[in-house]
A and B are shown apart, each in its own frame.
Chain A
């Protein structure tokens, strides 16, 4: 067995980032499940309408989780401004650095079993970095914009949701098109979450650094002292 060497441990994820990660995980899970059930409701319930409020409850959970996701998103943007350098990774891609592309290729080759050993990274590895920005930052923003535009349909014209997000509906086409994009976004995020969880567990075991414990304690530890 490899023994963990804690020399050179780095404090990467500050407490607000960690809290945000796990709150996000919970809200995304709830949003995906309730969102799917809004598009494809459960089998019909019998009796009088006044006996049940199932669809209402599902939608309530969706909207409540959406607000938590939105507040978390804004909080995360704030923390990118005041937090450490790693907190800014979600909003910055070093696309003009040769090293980023070289390391990205190396990481892809590592996942394709063409490299014997992965490199060590204090923050995100380049591949993870790329995906995080594309799915969590850009994808999250798309889901927030489309989601709030749809939410504005029921809060009504003149509501703040409508004033801020209502313009999106005629821009995209009509209400049904916004639903389509919101629905596609859900599947993109579901696929991302599957990859994210698998890769996090795999890398935690076979890479040269800590992954899962880092998102709990905040400390990145390395399993060897080689560069």
Chain B
């Protein structure tokens, strides 16, 4: 356990030059400035690896898929070895009882010192029977692991908000990590997205390892460095929005010219994530660049906010699927007609009244 991150990297054949490059790149990705590259390097050289328990609840493994595709050439090797990923049922070699034994071992050996990374969330109904891991409800595994961990990372929208399995009517009562009753009060960092961007995931882990604390979080527990601005704020199509140039149909001239997708229901203006700056697949592209609006996958309850192609949420409280504009126009029309009718009656009454007075 005295092995440092640097030892592991060297053992894996990573040169010191590559290692330093990684440190400076990570420093700039975290918005720390070049002065912090040596800090990161020093941390990597001297600090023992922090063990990570990576648990999976109700989820689709898209977070893991994203994570192992981190485009940074070293990220997947370095981060994967660096964090001493002792347990991750999707990518570890062990299976069955052996695998489950690892959890117990980590909890005992590193009591209060390991990071608990949660992908997915536990269903609470029927005592958690809708998600069984190694013969026990996932929620029990989660509670136990949380009890002894140092801090919790909620990977993706499932762990952060609930995501698709928690969408109305949420039949299994899938519950995001921070709302699980009886969970030990440990610091939780949310890294939402369906999935989160790979570079965001590796950068968050690197930060935690280097500084032994969470990066600065916003009101909802998301790291500010990646979730402090909306997609809209840094969107490369923003000038078209300000100019009033919009795609009106998927196949129109404006779509070909790359105008703003606001009218096509793009949720960029209401979504906090780093897609428009970090982008995906090694900075290659992101949904809006590919010509499709943002669906707001990193926002709370995004499945329940109406169509992906409509920015105005349908309001279900009124019994029918109504949206604010339909009801508003109907109400204004009704009130207008009522006022006109009222006016007519008033005129008649006034005429009668006048007639009465004249007599």
Contacts and interface: CB of A to CB of B under 8 A. Distances in A.
A40 B240 CA distance: 15
A180 B244 contact: no
A52 B328 CA distance: 31
Contacts, number: 130
Interface residues of B, number: 52
A104 to B, nearest CB: 18
Given A56-B242, A180-B315, A183-B324, 20 more contacts: A39-B312, A44-B245, A44-B247, A44-B248, A47-B245, A50-B239, A52-B245, A116-B353, A153-B269, A157-B224, A167-B219, A173-B300, A173-B301, A177-B313, A179-B311, A191-B328, A194-B336, A195-B339, A198-B343, A206-B346
A42 B353 CA distance: 49
Contacts of A179: 270, 311-313
Interface of B: 218-220, 224, 228-230, 233, 239-248, 254, 259, 262-263, 267, 269-272, 296, 299-301, 305, 311-313, 315, 324-325, 327-328, 331-332, 335-336, 339, 342-343, 345-346, 349-350, 353
A58 B244 CA distance: 9
Interface of A: 39-47, 49-56, 58, 111, 113, 116, 153-154, 156-157, 166-167, 170, 173-177, 179-180, 183-184, 186-187, 190-191, 194-195, 198, 202, 205-206
Contacts of A156: 228-229
14 contacts: A39-B311, A44-B248, A45-B243, A49-B239, A50-B239, A53-B244, A55-B241, A170-B300, A173-B300, A174-B305, A180-B313, A183-B328, A187-B331, A191-B335
7 closest cross-chain pairs (CB), A and B:
A187-B328, A54-B244, A175-B270, A49-B239, A52-B243, A56-B242, A55-B244
B246 A41 contact: yes
Nearest to B218: A157
Which residue among B219, B230, B244, B339 has the maximum number of chain A CB atoms within 10 Å of its CB? B244
A170 B220 contact: yes
